[in-house]
């Protein structure tokens, strides 16, 4: 997930830890390299700049340069700053699903992994929390997407709302709500249509569905491999529809993981889950300690 960034950082830190005594200048040089590595991983410029400044303020204090293991001290400061950047006040994995049937709205661009993530989360809710979940696809323009959700549902043992041809997304959302109530479901998940780009129609449709469903959670699924673009997409979705969290997919790929670091600082929205593969169990809650560990290799 962070192969390139990890490699770059371990190069910088290896040199630092081998060096023994460190001058403030040594630390500054190392942190300049950290900044470049962050930017190459597609972390947004202000986030990279703030991050390095924060580390620099702490690392150029006397405690570090006078310590017996100054290099290791710097690594620890970087680790703690990473955790701090990634941590918010909420519990990422705790979905608001009290008051059944609780609606969860899934939004995102086509190909981001939205349908896969809908099924992964449904499975998780069923397996870990014993919830009864109903999934519904609202992608009326792509019958294949509706069928895909049905197939995944059968595979993981989660019900899907029967497909009725010719219905519009708002009607399907209303039917899902009724069905979820009558059927005694704890949660119903609405997998909205995606498009290749954010356009007027996509937003209007998602907003109309949001207004009838009144979701407890609106989760935006974005492709983690797209770096800064993922953050831009999140900013736009949040402005136009309002999201309660982000799921970063394809974090198993060896792309630039910068979105993970920039997302909260730029959009103010937490990353709640990360997708780590195509399999139905390949999803984890977003855990700052674990992510920082992966970044530092
Ligand atoms: P949608 O158009 O947004 O609904 O995207 P899909 O859910 O159909 O996913 C598109 C492709 O990405 C499928 O082949 C998925 O198996 C794959 N995919 C989804 N999430 C992940 C992930 O976290 N890692 C990897 N490697 N592939 C994923």
pLDDT tens digits for range 103-113: 999 999 999 99
Measured by CA distance, the residue closest to atom 9 of ligand 1 is 113
The Cα–Cα gap between 272 and 96 comes to 12
Find the 11 Cα to ligand 1 centroid distance in Å: 33
Confidence class for position 70, pLDDT limits 50, 70, 90 = confident
Q: Average pLDDT of 88-97?
A: 92
Is the pLDDT score of 212 beyond 90? yes
Is the Cβ atom of 192 under 6 angstroms away from ligand 1? Answer: no
Say which residues have a Cβ less than 8 Å from residue 122's Cβ, sequence separation at least 6: 133, 135, 153, 156, 158, 187, 189
As given in the structure block, the two tokens for residue 133 are 């979940």
Find the 25 Cα to ligand 1 centroid distance in Å: 45
The Cα–Cα gap between 146 and 161 comes to 10
User: Average pLDDT, whole number, for the chain?
Assistant: 93
Cβ neighbourhood burial of 184 (10 Å; 0-12, 13-18, 19+): exposed
Is the pLDDT score of 64 beyond 80? no
pLDDT tens digits for range 154-192: 999 999 999 999 999 999 999 999 999 999 999 999 999
The Cα–Cα gap between 129 and 77 comes to 37
Measured by CA distance, the residue closest to atom 6 of ligand 1 is 113
Determine the 3-state secondary structure of 47 from DSSP: helix
As given in the structure block, the two tokens for residue 59 are 């690392």
Identify the DSSP state of 67. Answer: S
Return the bridge partners of 107, or none: 220
The pTM assigned to this predicted structure is 0.94
114 is in an annotated binding site: yes
pLDDT tens digits for range 243-297: 999 999 999 887 678 899 999 999 999 999 999 999 999 999 999 999 998 888 7
Find the 280 Cα to ligand 1 centroid distance in Å: 11
Confidence class for position 198, pLDDT limits 50, 70, 90 = confident
Residue 100: the pLDDT is 96
Confidence class for position 20, pLDDT limits 50, 70, 90 = confident
Residue 296: the pLDDT is 87
The Cα–Cα gap between 105 and 154 comes to 21
Find the 106 Cα to ligand 1 centroid distance in Å: 14
Q: Hey, which bits of 98-200 come out as E strands?
A: 102-108, 133-137, 159-160, 187-191
87-110 residues labelled b (16+ CB within 10 A) or e (exposed): beeeebeebebeeebbbbbbbbbb
Residue 166: the pLDDT is 94
- Please report the atom of ligand 1 found closest to the CA of residue 221: 3
**Torsion sign, CA atoms 32, 34, 37, 43:** negative
Measured by CA distance, the residue closest to atom 28 of ligand 1 is 278
The Cα–Cα gap between 12 and 55 comes to 14
Of the listed ranges 2-6, 146-150, 166-170, 280-284, the least confidently predicted one is 2-6
Residue 67: the pLDDT is 78
Is the pLDDT score of 24 beyond 90? no
CA distances from 174 to 179, 188, 189, 212, 216 (A): 9, 11, 12, 7, 15
Is the pLDDT score of 230 beyond 90? yes
Confidence class for position 3, pLDDT limits 50, 70, 90 = confident
Residue 256: the pLDDT is 72
- Please report the atom of ligand 1 found closest to the CA of residue 282: 23
252 is in an annotated binding site: yes
């Amino acid at each position: 997930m962070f192969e390139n960034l990890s490699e770059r950082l371990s190069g910088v830190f290896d040199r630092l830890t081998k060096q023994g005594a460190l001058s403030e200048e040594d630390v500054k040089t190392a942190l300049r390299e950290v900044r470049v590595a962050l930017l190459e991983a597609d972390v947004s410029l202000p986030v990279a700049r703030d991050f390095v400044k924060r580390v620099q303020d702490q690392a150029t204090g006397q405690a570090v340069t006078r310590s017996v293991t100054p290099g290791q001290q710097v690594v620890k400061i970087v680790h703690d700053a990473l955790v701090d950047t990634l941590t918010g006040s909420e519990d990422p994995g705790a979905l608001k699903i009290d008051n059944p049937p609780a609606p969860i709205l899934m939004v995102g661009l086509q190909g981001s992994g939205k349908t896969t993530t809908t099924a992964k989360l449904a499975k998780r809710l069923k397996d870990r929390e014993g919830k009864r979940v109903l999934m519904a696809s609202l992608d009326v323009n792509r019958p294949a997407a509706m069928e895909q959700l049905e197939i995944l549902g059968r595979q993981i043992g989660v019900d899907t709302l029967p497909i009725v041809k010719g219905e519009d997304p708002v009607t399907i959302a209303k039917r899902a709500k009724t069905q979820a109530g009558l059927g005694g479901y704890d949660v119903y998940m609405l997998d909205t249509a995606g498009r290749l780009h954010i356009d007027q129609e996509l937003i209007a449709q998602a907003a109309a569905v949001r207004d009838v469903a009144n979701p407890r959670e609106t989760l935006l699924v974005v492709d983690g491999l797209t770096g800064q673009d993922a953050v831009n997409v999140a900013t736009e979705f949040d402005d136009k529809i309002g999201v309660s969290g982000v799921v970063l997919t394809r974090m198993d790929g060896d792309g630039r993981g910068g979105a993970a670091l920039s997302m909260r600082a730029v959009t103010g929205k937490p990353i709640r889950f990360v997708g780590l593969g195509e399999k139905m169990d390949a999803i984890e809650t977003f855990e700052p300690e674990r992510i920082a560990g992966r970044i530092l290799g």
